[in-house]
Amino acid sequence: MKKNLSDKTVVITGGTSRLGHSFVHRALREGARVHFTFYQNKSKAEDLIRAGATGHEVDLASMESLNRFIQEIRAAMSGLDVLIHNAAACRDHTVQNLSEEDWDYVMNVNLKAVYYLTKKLLPLLFKKKPAKVFMLTSRVALRGAYGTANYAAAKAGLIALAKSLAMELGRKKILVNAVNPGFMHSAMTVDLPRTAIERNIELNPLKEYSNPDEVAAFLSYLCGDEMNQVTGQVFHWEGRETIL
Ligand SMILES: NC(=O)c1ccc[n+]([C@@H]2O[C@H](COP(=O)([O-])OP(=O)(O)OC[C@H]3O[C@@H](n4cnc5c(N)ncnc54)[C@H](OP(=O)(O)O)[C@@H]3O)[C@@H](O)[C@H]2O)c1
């Protein structure tokens, strides 16, 4: 039986994230050739490389590092089926205490790098019909969140960027969508204050964390040949009330 991602080339940032790690393993099982980025987590990166993926050490806040990564990707492939912007960074403070440096860092990693990578990899995406771009957003993009305005603003920016790109690239058969994976147990959330964790779980009608493995399976489905007509949308791995 043909695998869902046979012959697809996928680039995902943050392969070492909780969600990214699950997705990369699944995409490999589904037959994809996968290139992923990592930043500091070398042991998780080595695990993915052993499984068959190609790892790239990238600091998404650094233009020099980004440009090096783009050269590596251009040298490695002649066309790109799927680009997933999944890596993300937080530097949480209330706005009153938020430095410009922390504002810029989060914007650069979570939003500017997404614009820049997409723009620079478009020639490779144009070689495939359809090609797909996904951006990992968050419920906080729509709700806001106490003490993480920089992250929330960047994630809201991703939704506007995805919708705008969907309009600009539709005729070229490039689909651009955002995915909100819900509240997951990961490096990003593990050190949140207990009250914040409880509040986030309470927002889910099922009163539980989102399961990154299920989100990865959904993302893998979206990357495959059975989804060719949806663009400019935000998929929420959430209950209805959560995103109002
Ligand atoms: N966790 C949640 O509850 C939640 C909720 C809504 C949306 N999301 C979104 O879903 C996605 C995956 O989340 P997750 O919780 O699985 O992530 P995570 O486990 O916290 O991992 C974050 C990822 O971003 C990478 N990263 C951080 N700073 C970087 C930098 N300067 N340059 C390059 N890479 C950098 C990390 O690389 P290293 O580990 O190699 O350093 C890691 O791969 C993210 O976009 C996140 O915003 C998560």
Residue 215 CA, ligand 1 centroid: distance in Å: 14
Strands (E), 23-170: 33-38, 54-57, 82-85, 131-136
Cα(56)–Cα(73) distance, rounded to whole angstroms?
9
Is the confidence at residue 81, as pLDDT, over 70?
yes
Q: How confident is the model at residue 2 (pLDDT cuts 50, 70, 90)?
A: confident
What 3-state DSSP class applies to 133? Answer: strand
Please state the rounded mean pLDDT for residues 204-218.
95
Long-range contacts of 20-26 (CB under 8 A, 24+ apart): 20/86, 20/87, 21/47, 21/48, 22/212, 22/213, 22/215, 22/216, 23/84, 23/86, 23/216, 23/219, 23/220, 24/48, 24/51, 24/53, 25/51, 26/213, 26/216, 26/217, 26/220
pLDDT digits (tens, 9 = 90+) for 86-107: 999 999 999 999 999 999 999 9
Which of 84, 108, 184, 210 is the pocket-test mutation for ligand 1 (most atoms within 8 Å of CB)? 184
Ligand 1 close to Cβ of residue 183 (< 6 A): yes
Is there a domain that residue 202 lies in? no
Is the confidence at residue 212, as pLDDT, over 80?
yes
Ligand 1 close to Cβ of residue 109 (< 6 A): yes
What 3-state DSSP class applies to 33? Answer: strand
Cα(71)–Cα(163) distance, rounded to whole angstroms?
27
Residue 14 CA, ligand 1 centroid: distance in Å: 6
Residue numbers of the domain that contains 232: 9-185+211-237
C-alpha angle 20-22-24 in degrees, rounded to nearest 5? 65
Average pLDDT of the chain, as a whole number: 96
Instruction: Say how many domains are in the chain.
Output: 1
Q: Which atom of ligand 1 is nearest to the CA of 39?
A: 40
Residue 234: its pLDDT value, please? 97
Cα(58)–Cα(224) distance, rounded to whole angstroms?
26
Residue with tokens 């986030």: 200
Task: Give, as one character, the DSSP assignment of residue 3.
Answer: -
Residue 239: its pLDDT value, please? 79
Q: Which atom of ligand 1 is nearest to the CA of 155?
A: 47
Is there a domain that residue 2 lies in? no
Cα(59)–Cα(103) distance, rounded to whole angstroms?
16
CATH number of the domain to which 133 belongs: 3.40.50.720
Residue 19 CA, ligand 1 centroid: distance in Å: 8
Is there a domain that residue 220 lies in? yes
- List the one residue out of 219, 220, 104 whose CA is nearest residue 154: 104
Is the confidence at residue 1, as pLDDT, over 80?
no
pLDDT digits (tens, 9 = 90+) for 31-55: 999 999 999 999 999 999 999 999 9
In terms of pTM, does the model score above 0.95?
A: yes
Q: How confident is the model at residue 214 (pLDDT cuts 50, 70, 90)?
A: very high
Residue 189 CA, ligand 1 centroid: distance in Å: 10
Radius of gyration of the chain (CA): 17
Is the confidence at residue 135, as pLDDT, over 70?
yes
Ligand 1 close to Cβ of residue 211 (< 6 A): no
- List the one residue out of 23, 9, 3, 8 whose CA is nearest residue 184: 23
> Over pLDDT 70: what percentage of the chain?
98
- List the one residue out of 44, 39, 51, 115 whose CA is nearest residue 83: 115
